[in-house]
Structure 1
Amino acid sequence: MKLAKDISIAAFAVAISVAAVVKPTQAALVNYGFTVNATSGDNPGQYFGSFQYDDSTLTAIGEETLGVSNGLSILFDYVGTQYTEASDFDYPSSPVVSFTNGNLSGLSYLVEDRFFIGNDPVNSNTGGTKFYSILSANLLSTTEAGRVTYSKSTPIPEPMTLGGIAIASAMALGMKRQKKVSGVTN
């Protein structure tokens, strides 16, 4: 009887753990940090930002872009001012984040009279790793001023996963303690 009870408790703990960790495939919010290293222009220095998007529509085949409609949000601190996705000149159709075969190519992010992040100011819907300063509303007045590097942020476990692990651990410790109290040895 005691063995059956212990086995059922252990099976329940394993089921909770597996259910918390193994979930059906679902959309994930992906987080990236980026650093602008401006080496020329009016505001040389390092500037930091981050962006997030929902990857549920990515196919990892060919050229793809995701925008605000895919949950793209941006925070970028440049020369003491914080910019968001709504700061983009063509919001809400821009900014976008570009991918080639599922790999991040970069942001395409234009803030009028301030800066552009991307590879080509003329084709501003292609993300990239170049940083341009903008002298006026005319995109032809851009000057390449630096580079952008991207780093994927480590995802934080969801509360359900942490809860399942905590329950399974507590049950395992309880069983171990109960064995010790009852005098059962391995």
Structure 2
Amino acid sequence: MKLAKNIGIAAIAIAVAAVAKPTQAALVNYGFSVNATSGDNPGQYFGSFQYDDSTLTGTGEETLGVSNGLSILFDYLGTQYTEASDFDYPSSPVVSFTNGNLLGLSYLVEDQFFIGNDPVNPNTGGTKFYSILSADLLSTTQVGTVSYSKSQSVAEPMTVAGIAIAGVMGLCLKRKKK
């Protein structure tokens, strides 16, 4: 009985530690949609991206790139583009933040499109969609907008395991008392 009680207390301690531990780095997922309202290819196009937030401080202007686990999938005109499709890969694409708030992607695919706010400053992400004739950013024409939505976070496995162990141990202790 004493062993079961000690195991139960240990399980509860693990569960509390798992829930109360400080926030750790996580992979963050976003979906995005392009609403092209003008140009040669009007329509809606969809994509997603993911990054590791472990180096974000939430202060000032920050960018994360491929070295921070940034990966992109974007379906445009029947072709699926990835982060490796960016003209300046692996130094681009990037995702930008101000004080921890997402500004958006900066993503250039030569002869196709540019996502960002300002083609003159292509390393700042944003919410504008441009058609592009070449890698020359002076040949861009804004044809739409981009909207972003954060995907649901998934609980860390250690938290789920700790809660499950505590629940099972609690049931065992309750059964032993009867």
- TM-score normalised by structure 2 residue count: 0.90
Residue number in structure 1 paired with 2:76: 78
Residue number in structure 1 paired with 2:147: 149
Residue number in structure 2 paired with 1:18: 16
When residues 59 and 20 of structure 1 are mapped into structure 2, their CA distance, relative to the original with a 3 A threshold, is closer
Task: Give, in whole Å, the separation in 1 of the partners of 2:41 and 2:172.
Answer: 60
Query: Aligned residues: percent identity?
Result: 79
Task: Give, in whole Å, the separation in 2 of the partners of 1:5 and 1:26.
Answer: 33
Alignment pair present for 1:42 and 2:40: yes
Instruction: After TM superposition, give the deviation of residue 127 of structure 1 in Å.
Output: 0.5
CA RMSD of aligned residues (A): 1.8
Residue number in structure 2 paired with 1:111: 109
The letter of the residue matching 2:61 is E
Residue number in structure 2 paired with 1:130: 128
**Number of corresponding residues:** 178
Structure 2 stretches of 5 or more lacking a match?
none
Instruction: After TM superposition, give the deviation of residue 56 of structure 1 in Å.
Output: 2.0
SS in 2 for 1:171: helix
The letter of the residue matching 1:94 is S
CA contact (8 A) 2:5 2:173 kept: no
Task: Give, in whole Å, the separation in 1 of the partners of 2:62 and 2:158.
Answer: 32
Task: Give, in whole Å, the separation in 2 of the partners of 1:95 and 1:85.
Answer: 6
Instruction: After TM superposition, give the deviation of residue 32 of structure 1 in Å.
Output: 1.2
When residues 5 and 69 of structure 1 are mapped into structure 2, their CA distance, relative to the original with a 3 A threshold, is closer
Given candidates 61, 64, 67, the residue that maps to 1:66 is: 64
Task: Give, in whole Å, the separation in 1 of the partners of 2:38 and 2:100.
Answer: 32
- TM-score normalised by structure 1 residue count: 0.87
Larger Rg: 1
Structure 1 stretches of 5 or more lacking a match?
none
Q: Hey, which bits of structure 1, 4+ residues long, moved more than 4 A?
A: 4-7
Residue number in structure 2 paired with 1:121: 119
Instruction: After TM superposition, give the deviation of residue 6 of structure 1 in Å.
Output: 6.4
When residues 5 and 134 of structure 1 are mapped into structure 2, their CA distance, relative to the original with a 3 A threshold, is same
Q: Deviations over 1:74-107 (max 9, x none)?
A: 1111111111111000111110111111111110
- The more displaced of 99-108 and 49-58 is 49-58
